[in-house]
Structure 1
Amino acid sequence: MKALQFNRTGDLANLQLAELPTPVPATGQVLVQVKAAGLNPSDVKNVLGRFPYTTLPRVPGRDFAGVVIEGPADLLGQEVWGTGSDLGFKNDGSHAQYLTVPAEGVALKPRKLSFTQAASLGVPYTTAWDAVERSQVTRGTRFLVLGANGAVGSAAMALARVRGAEVLAAVRRPEQAQALQAQGYQVILLDQADTLAAQVEAVFPAGAEVIFDTTGFWLPAAVSALAVFGRIAIIAAPVNGLVEFSALGLYRKGGSLVGVNSLLYNCAACARMLEQFGRYFDNGMLPVPTDLLEAPLSEGLAAYADVNGGSSQKVILLP
């Protein structure tokens, strides 16, 4: 089979299109013919050596959608999707024509999603689902998303809306604000850190009950915009990993910090998440993704370079 593979880390030039044996599923596994595979920033960082536990040689890629061609009878021929931390790091991932995963590590693909659409959602939506679940976003929750234009931020807002939360989006650029307003969201423009609390209070007079910072830079300001007994969920940090914020401000409000890391969940855990929110695509409660860039696996090296260069368009590799 054809696959992207790297034998060394540190440079995207180490990623090559290779001819590899088709994997053979072990007991309890399925063999998936990959129809589409999402390309995430974490896949690029993996090749660059940001994950020291990755074993080599390795096929990268976490998100996939495809058809089960070997495995338990109830899954044979089924269209499935999946993602998880056990792909692309210590086991070969989805940027290949075939993939083996535990049988419990796949979920039935929503009927309204194409393979390409399904493959674009794994990491962003499971990350967002974990964030809204663990920060207790429910009906009526005053929910602020910082960096709402990104894939995870957009997913979090869509999931929060399904739950009946009051959603407020925060972005940097006017054109981003206009796009979100067209989708029916209330939006504020991020400007100065010391004005965030006032901007939020103009919409949520008692502050935001949950703040999801997807940027890694707004945590200090988020504390001041938080409601009493509120929660702040974070998925990013500056390069050195350090952020200085007011612990006094946080504990006086009875606030909590929730760290969200998709790499804590294997394929089986992620499949359970996909099953829970996948039905919302079929019943029209979650938006079907658009503006996806399809690229054949043979052009995967260029796609990796584009993502590394800061391209914001979601790339889907087609084996």
Structure 2
Amino acid sequence: MSNEPNRPLLDVRNLSVHFGATEVVSSLSFSLAAGEIMAVVGESGSGKTQTALAVLGLSPPSATVTGSIVFEGTRLPDHPAQRRALRGSRIALVPQDPMSSLNPYHMIGGQIAEVMTLHLGVQASTAKIRVLDLLDAVGISDPKRVARSYPHQLSGGMRQRALIAMALAGEPRLIIADEPTTALDSIVQARILDLLGDTVKRFGLSILLISHNLAVVSRIANRVAVFYAGNMVETAKATELFADPRHPYTKALIAAIPRLSEDGQLPHALPGSPPPGNAAGQPGCIFHQRCPVSIPQCRSVTPDWRHTNGRGVACHRVLEGEAYRAA
């Protein structure tokens, strides 16, 4: 199903996730264009993974999910069995930990081939050949050996590449990558990120990248959405966001990125911690208790979401204009 002009591949509107009385995702709205890499960033507990699980239809049974999720112009069904048909085919997941995601009792090739037989109806003999092509496509130099290997026989980077090959096996339009480089060293991280970027160009798909690491995001993302305590506080093109962050929380995240500097200056850590989930629906700015530039209005009035020229931000201080943003 091809996308109509200007219609997003994924369109999420007023998405909320509750666990009992605790709100962990609060009325989120965002869209993802075809061929785009959009990164969702924020500290642990900001609602990133719960948002991804809601899109996939994998929220825990104890969660209550409300809102609208439209994919390829069609609202995704609420019924688990109907949503399951999309997973692995039109929407695929690259999870954080390959060792807990790959079956230790089956060889890599068989696990990738299973995706093709289940979702595409490909015969086993054909799937076996395609497995080698996919492993080659994700940069594995000896596809035959890796296809015959068990997960424990591969390095962390090789296992992550195998997971990406598995995600591609169902010919998806969207890949959700949840912290795909967290367990890897910096060199392997860079290679996996380059691979994800190349995958978008080669296979013509989109990626929703979940990460707490802005250094990772700056490498490949086209656009960034900043989450805090279940709320989206800023969104912009990646180049604009890193050059001119507008929300104080975004500024704090960027200031905390580790950098090599001649003066040996350490990153600036943001003091405090995010509020509990049940604070997400309360009036006032959700960030005001940790904000270094808050004003009395921030404590009692929820900031409006302002969206202009492709940028969005929810902050009372942004109204003060360029003087504040340059501070």
Name the TM-score class by shorter chain. Answer: under 0.3
TM-score (norm 2): 0.27
Higher strand share: 1
Higher helix share: 2
